[in-house]
């Protein structure tokens, strides 16, 4: 086996950051191999992909097979369009900027080699077709597709989330929409670390880590000093994460705006890893509020002096249309 250090992020499974790639064992698994519970699958290029889970992801990729099913799909898409349009109108009436982003599934962007997970889900396809021309809608799929890096490098191999490079690509697109004159510094991802993969336990019975590449310290220093976490509220309901809230301030940030994000793990409640958008937002905006919620609470955003409200959800969560607050 060639043990030379690869130029691209490795495909190995590791328990911690190795001293050398001589210490990593690469285990070939056939494409299509299922996890014990059938919820995840081994795909091309050493990537693991979600297959089912609570939202039965694979079902979302199926095309409507009857006129009745197509009518139901069209109706559901219309409900999303109505909700997101009402958000934009509500924000405009309050004098606040608004952006909405729907993060695609890894299997929508990265070729998986799994026929059941090919293309864009019909629901997201309909929504994007109806909203892409609007200034407040940001197509995360287009942002990722237009990036110079190959799709596989914009996503974690053993995880459902973006890589650091992918999270920066998405953050750049959102920031660019409201701050077109902002110029990001040169990007370099050279710092290695081990991060746990959220799909590994389904296969191996324990959580394993993968080697990932994060931005080097000189690159981070060119953005701004580390943000300060000023508020942290844990969820009180039955949901594992829903209702969590974090607030960061960064007096040295290049953009003096208060941003309030209503989203999920693609932003994340802690900006420790660069594979979450909060990591980047908290370094370019003076004040960042993150609320882990599919609903937008305009009352909260206005009370905290929001200049920009961001709504974020995932492709697989489109099966449920939330009801906003205020």
- The predicted model gives 145-159 an average pLDDT of 94
User: Which of the four pLDDT bands, split at 50, 70 and 90, describes residue 2?
Assistant: very low
Residue range 285-295, pLDDT digits in tens: 999 999 999 99
pLDDT tens readout for residues 64-77: 999 999 999 999 99
CA nearest 121: which of 42, 63, 77, 51? 63
CA-CA distance, 143 to 196, in Å (whole number)? 26
The pLDDT of 18-43, averaged and rounded, is 77
pLDDT given for residue 21 in this prediction: 47
CA 281 – CA 79 distance, rounded (Å):
29
Average pLDDT score over residue span 158-186: 93
CA distances from 298 to 34, 138, 182, 310, 318 (A): 42, 20, 26, 11, 21
The pTM (predicted TM-score) of the whole model is 0.89
Give which of 289, 217, 162 is closest to 278, Cα–Cα: 289
Sign of CA dihedral 269, 272, 273, 277: positive
Task: Report, as an integer, the average pLDDT of 154-165.
Answer: 95
Question: What's the confidence (pLDDT) of residue 307?
Answer: 98
Q: What is the dihedral of CA 289, 291, 296, 301, to 10 degrees?
A: -30
pLDDT cut 90: percent of the chain above it: 69
CA atoms within 13 A on the CB side of 219: 16
Look at phi and psi of residue 297 and say left if phi exceeds 0, alpha if psi is from -120 to 50, else beta.
beta
Amino acid 161: pLDDT: 96
pLDDT score, position 238: 64
- What confidence score (pLDDT) does residue 9 get? 38
Position 22 confidence tier, pLDDT thresholds 50, 70, 90 = low
Q: Which residue has the higher pLDDT, 290 or 185?
A: 290
In the predicted model, is pLDDT for residue 271 greater than 60?
no
Alpha helices in the chain (DSSP H): 57-60, 67-93, 106-109, 122-131, 140-145, 164-178, 200-204, 217-221, 277-284, 298-303
């Amino acid at each position: 086996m060639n043990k030379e250090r690869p130029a691209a992020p490795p495909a190995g499974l590791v328990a911690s950051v190795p001293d050398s790639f001589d210490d990593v064992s690469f285990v070939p698994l056939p494409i299509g191999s299922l996890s014990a519970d059938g919820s995840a699958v081994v795909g091309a290029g050493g990537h693991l992909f979600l297959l089912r889970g609570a939202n039965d992801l694979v079902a979302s990729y199926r095309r409507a097979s009857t006129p009745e099913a197509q009518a139901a799909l069209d109706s559901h898409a219309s409900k999303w369009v109505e909700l997101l349009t009402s958000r934009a109108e509500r924000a405009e009436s309050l004098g606040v900027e608004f952006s909405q982003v729907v993060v695609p599934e890894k299997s929508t962007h990265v070729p998986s080699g799994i026929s059941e997970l090919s293309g864009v889900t019909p629901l997201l396809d309909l929504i994007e077709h109806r909203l892409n021309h609007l200034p407040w809608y940001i197509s995360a799929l287009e942002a990722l597709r237009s990036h110079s890096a190959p799709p596989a490098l914009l996503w974690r191999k053993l995880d459902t989330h973006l890589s650091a490079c992918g999270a920066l690509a998405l953050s750049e697109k959102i920031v660019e929409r409201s701050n077109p004159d902002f110029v990001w510094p040169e990007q370099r991802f050279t710092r290695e670390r081990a991060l746990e993969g959220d799909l590994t336990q389904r296969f191996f019975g324990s959580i394993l880590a993968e080697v990932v590449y994060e931005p080097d310290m000189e690159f981070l220093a060119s953005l701004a000093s580390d943000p300060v976490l000023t508020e942290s509220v844990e969820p009180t309901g039955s949901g594992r994460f829903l209702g969590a809230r974090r607030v960061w301030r960064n007096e040295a940030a290049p953009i003096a705006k208060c941003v309030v994000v209503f989203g999920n793990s693609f932003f994340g409640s802690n900006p420790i890893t660069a594979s979450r958008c909060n990591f980047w937002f908290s370094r370019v905006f003076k004040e960042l509020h993150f609320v882990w919620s599919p609903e937008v609470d305009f009352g909260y955003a206005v009370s905290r002096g929001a200049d920009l409200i961001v709504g974020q959800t995932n492709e697989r969560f489109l099966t449920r249309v939330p009801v906003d607050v205020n």
